[in-house]
Every structure is written in structure tokens, then in C-alpha cells.
Amino acid sequence: MSRPFPFLLLLSLPLAGFSHASLAAKAEELRLNVPANGADDAARRGWITGRVADANGQAVEGVTVALKGTSYGASTQANGSFRLAAQAGSYQLVVSSIGYATQEIAVTVTGGETVSVPAFVLAASSQALTEVTVTGQKSLNQRAVTVGKLPVASLDLPQSAVTVEREVLEQQQVLRLSDALVNVSGLYVTSTTGGTQEELGSRGFAYGSNNTFKNGVRFNNGIMPEASSLERMEVLKGSAAILYGNVAAGGVLNLVTKKPQFERGGSVGLRVGSFGFWKPTVDVYGAIGDSKKAAFRLNGTYEQGNSYRDEVKSDRVYVNPSVLLELSPNTTLVLEGDYLRDNRTPDYGIGAINYEIPESRTRFLNVAGANNATTQTSSTATLTTRLNNAWSLRGVAGFQRYDNNLRSAGRPTSIVSTPGATYGNWTRGLQRSQTSENYYLAQLDLTGTFNTGFLGHTLLVGADADQYETTTTAYTNPESATRPNTAVSAYDVINILDPSKELAQPAERLTSFDQLVRNSLTKGNTRRAGFYVQDLLSVSEKVKVLAGVRWSYQETPSDVFNYNTVANRNSKIADTYVENRRYDNAFSPRLGLVYQPIKTSSVFASYSNSFTPNTGIDTDGNTLRPSIIEQYEVGIKNDLFKGALSANVTAYKIVNSDQSQTIQPGAPNFNESRPTAQELAGEVTSKGVEVDIQSKPMLGWSLITGYSYNHTSYTKSNTYENGSRLRYNPAHTANLSLFYNFNSAFGESTFLRGLNAGITTYYVGDKLAGRNTRLTVPNDAYRLISIPNYVLFDASLGYTYDRVAVRVKLANILDELSYNLHDDNSVNPIAPRNFSATVSYKL
């Protein structure tokens, strides 16, 4: 095995960890003005401790303790004590609880030290309880997305960014990542190939493993990530090549897991649902012993369930431990790991006959014993150190191991479409593969603020390096015992419209997966490195310019060992060996302008590009250079009603004028000795509009809504008709999530206090699959499939009493039927109307 690409064992992610306080007191007294840059300086943090009791000296639990004018807050524990973290400075400490008079005292916090305040004695309030709940949650445009690497608010960036916080994920009872995507306009599921993963896309471009991150580190999205561990989901739309190199043009997704906290707490829960689903969960956190410098968190779950699909089953185990270490007043280290084992029945859906979908939601076409077994283990170390008041250094080191073992029938293809006795017949074969992957990452970022004359700078300088080591073993059909040089390929023959129908079977056929023989072994060892610099210049209070560039280098070697004869397959000695080597590099610039006529609004325009490596050769036998994809984006961001509502609109145009396409016979540069040679002469254009609206919780209400329009088509092609749309990208999506918390309307004495209710709707319209018709094939049989439009409508209800919470959810209430398709051979119906309930206990 080759050595990992050299990397520094650095580093760590910003301190997680301050729970947003929910303050039940007068709104005008406790309005939280969060700093716009959203940065938390762990190096300058101190602690405040104290105790709260009633007039009889009894400890009072659940009292809100917060620093006025900030987002720092905590609640008292069962013994009345509290421990509150804050940046160094002078504050007003506010203690409030419904039914008691609010109290304030002045307090000064010193970095790295703990200050104890006198005990608070609560006195009953004689005033009527007419308070509203105000939270320390930042608005959509005030939040800084960690995946953006700059400690600045989204309002200052010439790019669309959306975050979905844990409170929203819990309200909506998110189970899969696709449940959370309904909160982000223009981010959608493209397909669910085999029912074992959720493939995502945005702005007409697919997200692969290059575009999906967990805690800032790429992860293999061949497995469905665990949503119960999420603290938030971050989406940086559009080009992110300057930050991450080889990523698709649509954007990047970062999943941020729950972080350690010094305050002790946690929960245990159980979720049950339709189709025999059940899922226990546990989440515990707190200081390690009595330490003020070390904290931990451990959350995990086990999941088991059947499916609305006949014979489909799944089970999975997930564990996510993490540790936070304050190494010095200026340095913090976060160590995170997770382990996910996922076993499920591979399911390529109901098939298609001549590009028509035979309507069914439950029909299962795979063979007995089919299984997709995946394990994924990862670890991340993130070190953050404050060099001085203006500069900080952040380093990340990560490792991931991914293993997959697939045994399944092949995808439903070559189904008989001629009317007659054999209509709908399909000859099933078997497939088997094994894949393993080691992934290594090192990343170092230096950020700082300074001035040069009248210009203010927020500078990012960084470097990263990563490496994929992959090993893939493919299997093929064995040689016939009675027909030399002929493979046995059939397992059986079924009718996809009626799988129970008795049909004549092949005379010689496969009987098990173990009969398949090794066909090839492919070893890959992709290595990448990048250097980047980016500067947000404040020209004036109203004008900002973001400029930067990245240089990326990529090696893509692979070694393919082929086993073509029975003897060599058995002895594992390769007949042939193919060595492939590619070396690519590219520059990725970025330039954006932000104009802020008022502090709560910004108008922006930007240009950026990204690149996609190509695998083909040109007419002279040389490797093709990467395709350069240009992106133009304009938009407006607004924080309305003093930050209570954020409303953003973005328009974009993405052009890949370097798309690779096969040179066709008859073309002036066609080379008969290289009939598969390619050229960078095609063009794909994506254009669209996105609207994202989010509110803070206000008077009990919270709102998320949005809309997206996208049109992605071939605008120059010698293979497909110009103007024909690319598959899998819906032209329209729309979303609405509306929740109400009854705490704001009812006093403590009513049973309705603790109740919350909400609805979530999601619309997908005008989405295509199948295959684009080829100009180069006379009377081509390829056709596109129009996927039925659908509206998902979900309703949920929750109730919390003391430490116990119960939530119920009814999903797809309208029982809509549509599909996720890959080509025409993985036609997976969406889930029907279903029910789930969760009960949890707060530790």
C-alpha cells in the first residue's frame, strides 16, 4: 500500500458549544444583538458560575441566565447551579424565570478565568405574565458558515448561503438528509440508485463525494449519513472551487455534528414508525470529571425497519464520540470520530418498459439474499489557536475508511417491450462488487483582520492536501461447463408486472453469488493539493469587495488488473495490467462586489469558476485538460423587521463551454485510429433563480420558505439536440415550513404550555430522467421520461412536560406517488403516507 500523501497533523475546528439561551422576559430588555461576524474567540473565553434559589433557600432548576446584549446563556441545573461561558469583557448578567422578578448584576469576565457571582434569591413577580420568548439565534444573514472559512456574516458575502439549525431539524423530526433538504431552495435529490443512498444536486450539477462534507472534511456519500447527530446543515451555493478545489459548480454541503459542552446534560429517546420501524437514540455530554478544560459528547443510535417496498429491510448502527480540550487560553483542540454500519436490501425499484413506468409502489424485483453492506469510520482533529487579537490559525487533519460489499441482481434492463406473451419479461443476472477506500486530509487556514490606509481587510490564506486510496474488485459471470468461451449470465426469468408468474427458465443458470468470478481489480491513488488566498476588502461602510484565487494540482493514477481466463481468476494472477496516469492543474479565481445601502441589506454580484478533470484523450492521443466552468451570480439579501425575517433572492448563470464530447466521424479532426477521441467543444448552460426566506422564532412562530427555478440544457453539442435539458434536475421546487410554539401564548398554568405544532410542504415539478435522444444514432430508441410532479405535505405535533417530550409526525398526508429515477433502470417510488412517533427524556 502506498504511503499517505504527506500532511501536517494539525488542527481543529472552532469551539462548538454555546447553547443559545431561550429568555423568557421582556423583549425590550433582552433583545440579543449578535455580532455580525459571528466569530467566537475561544482563546479569550472565561466562565461565570453561580447558584439560584427561591425565598425558602430551595434550588430552582431551569432558570434562564444570560448576558444582556449577547447570545451567551445557560439554564440552572437541578441543584440550582449554572456555568456560563463568555468572551472577556464587561456585561449585565440577567436572571429570569416566569413568575419571578427579573434580576441583573454587573459582571466582568477575564479570559481563561472563572468568576463566581453571589447567589441569586428569586422573588415572586407581582406583574402579569405577558412576556414573549426571545432567543439568541442569529438571523440567516447574520450566521457565518464554517464551510465558507471566513469569519464573516453571510450578509457580507457575494454568494448565497443557507444554514438549517438543530431546532428546525428537531421540529421537523428529520430522519434522512432528504428530509432536511426541503429547507433549502434549489437543493434536491437527483436519484436514489439502488435505494442505498441519496444522490444530491443543485443548479443542474450533481453533488458527488467531492461536494459533501462533514465538519469540513469530505465524506463518501455512497452511504446515507446519520441525521440524528446533526447540529446544523450548511449549504454554500454556487462555486466553492477557490476553497475546496475539484468540486461541482452547484455548491457544497457541510454537515456539522453536535459538539461537546461543559454543561452536563443529554437525552435518551425512542422513535417508532410505519413498516416496523424503530430507532433508540442516546446523547450525553458534559465536562470530563470536574475539569474546566476538557469536555466530551457521545451520541449514537440503532435503527431497524422494514419498508413500504416488499421484502426490503434495513438496519444500521451509529456512534459519534467527540472531545473538546482547551490546551491554553489561546488554543483549543476538538477530536471527533464516528462509526456507521449500514446493511440494507438493494432495491432498483419497479423497472421501466420502453421508457414508461408501470405504476406500482410495492413491487420488488431483486433476488433473495441481496444485500448492500457498508461501513464508514472517520476521525477528525481540529486545532484552533489565537495568535493575537487580529490573527488566528486553524488546522484540520482527517481520516476516513469506507468499505462496501454489494450482492444484488442487476438493474432492470432489456425488459421485453413487444406486446405478446413475453411482454414484461426480464432475464435477471447477478452482480457482485467490493470497494474499500482510505481518505486522508490536511488543511491549514490563517485568517486575520487589518487595515491598509482606508481599506479594511479580512484575509484568508490557506493550503490543503488530500489523498484517496481506493481498491475495487469486480466480479463477472463464470464460463459455461458445456459451452466453451460462453459465459453463464442468467439467474432466472421473471415478469416485472407479475413476478409470481411461472415462466420457462434457462437450461443453464446461476444459482448463487459465489459462482461469480473475479474479473478485475482496480487500485486508485488520487492525490490533490491546493493553495489559496482570499480577501474581503471593506472599501467603505457600504462597499465590500471579495477577491481571491486558488491553484490546484491533482494526480489521478490507477492500476487495473484484469483476469480474463478461468485459471488466472482462480490463482488471482492477472492476465493483463493497465497503468493509467493523469496530472492536472488549474487556477480558480473569484471576484465579488457587495453594496450595503443600509446595514441590514446587501446587493451583490460575483464571478467565479471551477474545474472538472476529464478522463478521455484527444485526437493526438494526449490527455484532455480539465473543463473550466464559469459562474455568474447576482442577488439581494435583506434582514427585515429588526432581523426577525431574512429574505434573499439570487439569480445565476453557469456555463461549461469546455464540455468534453466524442469527435464524430466526418468531422475535420476525426482520427480513424482513435475513434473514441474527444474534444472540449461542447457546452452546457445552467440558469435559474432561487428565493430563501427564514424567520427567527417570534411570538411563537417560525417560518422557512423558498422557491427555485432551474433550466440546464445542452447549448452546443454534436451528440444531443441543442436546447435539450439535462436529466435529474427539477425545473421547479418550492418549500414551506411553518411552526407554532404555544409557550408564547399561554401561561405556565395551562396544559397547552409545552405544545408545538407545524406543517412542512415540498413541491417538485418538471423533472426528467431516462436518456437523452442521440443525434448520432438514426431512429434512436433513447427517450426522456417525465417524472410526475408531486407535493409532499407533512404535519407534526409535539408536547414537552418537565423532562419528557413526545413528538408525532404524519408524512405525505396526500399520499402522493412519484419516483426518483436513475436513467430508466432504477425507478424508486417515494414513500406513501406514513406515521412516526418519538418519545425522549432529558437527562
pLDDT tens readout for residues 296-314 = 999 999 999 999 999 999 9
Position 697 scores a pLDDT of 86
Position 41 scores a pLDDT of 53
Position 45 scores a pLDDT of 72
Q: Say yes or no to pLDDT of 28 above 70.
A: no
Burial class (CB in 10 A: 0-12, 13-18, 19+), 482: exposed
**Is the torsion defined by CA of 566, 494, 305, 232 positive or negative?**
positive
CB distance 737 to 183 below 8 Å: yes
Give the span between the Cα atoms of 394 and 330, in whole angstroms.
Answer: 12
CB distance 135 to 34 below 8 Å: no
Kind of pairing between the strands at 114-116 and 45-53: parallel
Give the span between the Cα atoms of 671 and 667, in whole angstroms.
Answer: 9
Mean pLDDT, rounded, for 78-86 = 82
Position 176 scores a pLDDT of 94
Phi and psi for 806 in degrees, rounded to 5?
A: -125, 130
pLDDT bucket at 733, cuts 50 / 70 / 90:
very high
Query: Maximum Cα–Cα distance for the chain, whole Å?
Result: 96
Mean pLDDT for all residues in the chain: 88
Position 58 scores a pLDDT of 75
Number of H helices, E strands in the chain: 4, 48
CA atoms within 13 A on the CB side of 754: 13
**One-letter identity of residue 770:** G
Comparing 406-415, 452-461, 554-563, the range with the smallest average pLDDT is 554-563
Which residues on neighbouring strands pair with residue 531, listed in sequence order?
463, 551
Q: Say yes or no to pLDDT of 375 above 90.
A: yes
Place domain 22-135 in its CATH homologous superfamily: Carboxypeptidase-like, regulatory domain (2.60.40.1120)
Kind of pairing between the strands at 543-555 and 517-538: antiparallel
Phi and psi for 694 in degrees, rounded to 5?
A: -135, 145
Share of the chain above pLDDT 70, in %: 90
Position 744 scores a pLDDT of 59
Position 700 scores a pLDDT of 85
Q: Read off the pLDDT of residues 125-150 as tens digits, 9 standing for 90 and up.
A: 544 333 333 344 678 998 888 999 99
- Size of the chain in residues: 843
Position 568 scores a pLDDT of 52
Comparing 230-239, 329-338, 572-581, the range with the smallest average pLDDT is 572-581
Rg from Cα positions in the chain: 29
Q: Say yes or no to pLDDT of 1 above 90.
A: no
Instruction: Give the residue from 179, 215, 148, 253 showing the smallest Cα distance to 534.
Output: 148
Give the span between the Cα atoms of 385 and 269, in whole angstroms.
Answer: 37
Q: Say yes or no to pLDDT of 825 above 70.
A: yes
Mean pLDDT, rounded, for 681-692 = 97
pLDDT bucket at 44, cuts 50 / 70 / 90:
low
Give the span between the Cα atoms of 702 and 740, in whole angstroms.
Answer: 7
Q: Which helix (H) or strand (E) holds 566?
A: helix 566-571
Highest-confidence range of 125-134, 190-199, 685-694, by mean pLDDT? 685-694
Q: Is 280 helix (H, G, I), strand (E, B) or coil?
A: strand
Q: Is 237 helix (H, G, I), strand (E, B) or coil?
A: strand
Give the span between the Cα atoms of 837 and 585, in whole angstroms.
Answer: 51
Mean pLDDT, rounded, for 745-772 = 85
- The answer to whether domain 265-842 has CATH 2.40.170.20 is yes
Q: Read off the pLDDT of residues 619-652 as tens digits, 9 standing for 90 and up.
A: 998 889 999 999 999 999 999 998 899 999 999 9
pLDDT bucket at 64, cuts 50 / 70 / 90:
confident
Q: Which helix (H) or strand (E) holds 171?
A: helix 166-171
Give the span between the Cα atoms of 208 and 223, in whole angstroms.
Answer: 12
Give the span between the Cα atoms of 123 and 695, in whole angstroms.
Answer: 34
Position 96 scores a pLDDT of 84
pTM over 0.75: yes
CB distance 694 to 666 below 8 Å: no
Mean pLDDT, rounded, for 558-572 = 68
Mean pLDDT, rounded, for 736-762 = 81
Q: Say yes or no to pLDDT of 371 above 70.
A: yes
Give the span between the Cα atoms of 296 and 298, in whole angstroms.
Answer: 7
Query: Distance from CA of residue 513 to its chain's centroid?
Result: 34
Give the sheet arrangement for strand 187-191, strand by strand: 187-191, 199-202, 205-207
pLDDT bucket at 349, cuts 50 / 70 / 90:
very high
CB distance 300 to 279 below 8 Å: no
Q: Say yes or no to pLDDT of 57 above 90.
A: no
Mean pLDDT, rounded, for 742-759 = 74
Which residues on neighbouring strands pair with residue 322, listed in sequence order?
297, 336
Share of the chain above pLDDT 90, in %: 70
Q: Say yes or no to pLDDT of 5 above 70.
A: no
Q: Say yes or no to pLDDT of 257 above 70.
A: yes
Query: Distance from CA of residue 593 to its chain's centroid?
Result: 28
- Residue with the larger pLDDT of the pair 554 and 329: 554
Domain boundaries, the chain: 22-135, 265-842
**What are the angstrom distances between the C-alpha of 223 and each of 220, 268, 581, 691?**
7, 25, 28, 30
Q: Read off the pLDDT of residues 439-460 as tens digits, 9 standing for 90 and up.
A: 999 999 999 999 999 999 999 9
